[in-house]
Amino acid sequence: MVNITGTLIWYYYICKREVWFMAHQIEPIQDHPNIEIGRVIHENTYTRENKEIKFDDMVIDIFFKSDRDTVIAEIKKSSKFEKSSKMQLAFYLMKLKEKGIDLKGEIRFPLEKKKVKFQLTSNIEQELNRVCKEIKKIYEQEEPPKLEKTKYCWDCGYYELCWI
């Protein structure tokens, strides 16, 4: 049985084939430039914040107090994947809510000097529940989903596995 994680939610909105690979512990090339850049951004930004809070199977990038709210935040390289980022954050918020912890969310794009506030809604929770079921179906397939060329393929850590 697959353990649904925020990373799988993130990949779901980019490429179903990536979901299959990641769910089967086939990781992307770790020295891929995009992965390395993301790692450097994560390690070298927001150094004064509480970073990498582990809770159950989640790793939350940042945890902080803002005015009257407690907020969790995800750090992302680019807003190019804003929908994926929002849904990953929503997944964390939903899992925390299930434990009785109601928080606000924020996505930070340090290279763009951009912050996006985010709040979990019942519609998003319904979408996440549907996506979790679809991820389980993808995982249960004997082979990864068929190749579908997208605008993201050329810069993907799985590119060589899919296209070469």
pLDDT in tens, 41-66: 657 666 666 667 888 888 888 888 87
* Residue appearing with tokens 């989903």: 145
Q: How far apart are CA 159 and CA 51, in angstroms?
A: 30
- Count other C-beta atoms under 10 Å from residue 105's C-beta: 23
Q: For the chain, what is the mean pLDDT?
A: 87
Tens digits of residue pLDDT in 23-43 = 999 987 666 566 666 666 657
Q: Is the pLDDT of residue 78 over 60?
A: yes
What is the mean pLDDT of the segment spanning 87-105? Answer: 95
CA distances to 14, 41, 44, 156 from 151, rounded to whole Å, are: 10, 23, 28, 10
- Which residue, 70, 162, 80, is CA-closest to 119? 70
CA nearest to 14, candidates 160, 111, 131, 161: 131
- pLDDT category of residue 154 using cuts at 50, 70 and 90: confident
Average pLDDT of span 121-142: 97
Helix, strand, or coil (residue 88): helix
Percent residues over pLDDT 70 in the chain? 86
CA separation for the pair 22, 79 (Å, rounded): 22
Q: Residue 65: left (phi > 0), alpha (psi -120 to 50), or beta?
A: beta
pLDDT top residue among 61 and 113: 113
What is the model's pTM? Answer: 0.86
Say which amino acid occupies 144: P
